[in-house]
Amino acid sequence: MAYKVLIADDQKMVRQMFETVLNSTSDYTIAGMAKTAAETVRICLEQKIDLVLMDVVMGYGMDGLDAAKQIKQERPDVKIMIVTSMPETTYIDRAKEIGVDSFWHKEVQEQPLLEIMNRTMTGESIYPTEMPVIWFGNTISTELTDIEMSVLRELMTCASNKEIGERLFMSESTVKRHIADMLAKTGFKSRLQLAIEARGGGLVIHHEEI
């Protein structure tokens, strides 16, 4: 019997890509498609779904990981596979905490999508061993420290150095130093440019934005 799959992505092109992949095998059947995280949760609670293929950034309020958490609480038998192109590294940690079964990054295709799906349905939990490396000004994403990434994430909320320090439990001068270090690495001219380029490239996304 074919596994019933729910495709959840706010982009039509991505949904069509998944549809093409699933139509190439008799092991899976498409049970439905969802454009929002809330719709994904509703369908999982109302129908018999075996596997959810879901992006993180869904738009319209709830994000994919929030949806995954709710689904796992209500329907722990449903397998969930996060599929994303965003290089934000904290997604993987959140996904593991929630209990997401597998994580497939579109830009780091260590294994084919169908292979990950098959292994997930047999009980394996598959996560990428590395995230994509992207250019951020004159440097690459892996050259930024975890602390710098945290500061950068808060910069995107237009917070002051004092506010960032309070949120991250560090002094205002330390925040200023980390920003200066990132400006030196990237060649950007201002904290505003840091935030704009980070958001535009999907390098980091603040938790309030997803």
- CB distance 40 to 34 below 8 Å: yes
- The backbone torsions φ and ψ at residue 64, rounded to the nearest 5 degrees and listed phi first, read -60, -35
Length of the chain as a residue count:
210
How confident is residue 189, by pLDDT bands cut at 50, 70 and 90? Answer: very high
Comparison of pLDDT for 173 and 11, the residue scoring more: 173
Segment 33-91, tens digit of pLDDT: 999 999 999 999 999 999 999 998 776 667 899 999 999 999 999 999 998 877 666 77
- Strands of the 79-84 sheet, one edge to the other: 28-34, 3-8, 51-54, 79-84, 102-105
As a CATH number, domain 135-209 is: 1.10.10.10
Predicted model pTM:
0.72
Does residue 108 register a pLDDT over 70? no
Q: Where are the chain's structural domains?
A: 3-121, 135-209
56, 82 in Cβ contact below 8 A? yes
3-121 fold: Rossmann fold (3.40.50)
Burial of 158 (0-12, 13-18, 19+ CB in 10 A): exposed
Residue 209: pLDDT band by 50, 70, 90 thresholds?
very low
Min mean pLDDT across 66-70, 85-89, 136-140, 149-153 is at: 85-89
Asked if the model's pLDDT at residue 158 lies above 90, the reply is no
**Cα gap 128→95, rounded to integer Å:** 12
Question: Which residue type is seen at 36?
Answer: T
N-terminal to C-terminal alpha carbon distance within the chain:
36
pLDDT (average), residues 152-162: 89
pLDDT at residue 11, rounded to an integer: 85
143 in Cβ contact with 186 (< 8 Å): no
Give every CB contact of residue 2 below 8 A, 6+ residues apart in sequence: 26, 27, 28, 29
Q: Can you tell me the mean pLDDT for 19-23?
A: 93
- pLDDT class of 106 with cuts at 50, 70, 90: confident
The predicted structure's pLDDT at residue 181 = 95
Number of CB atoms found within 10 A of residue 84's CB: 23
Identity (one letter) of the amino acid at 149? M
Looking at residue 107, its pLDDT comes to 65
> What residue type is assigned to position 83 of the chain?
V
Token pair belonging to 2: 């074919």
Quote the mean pLDDT of the chain: 88
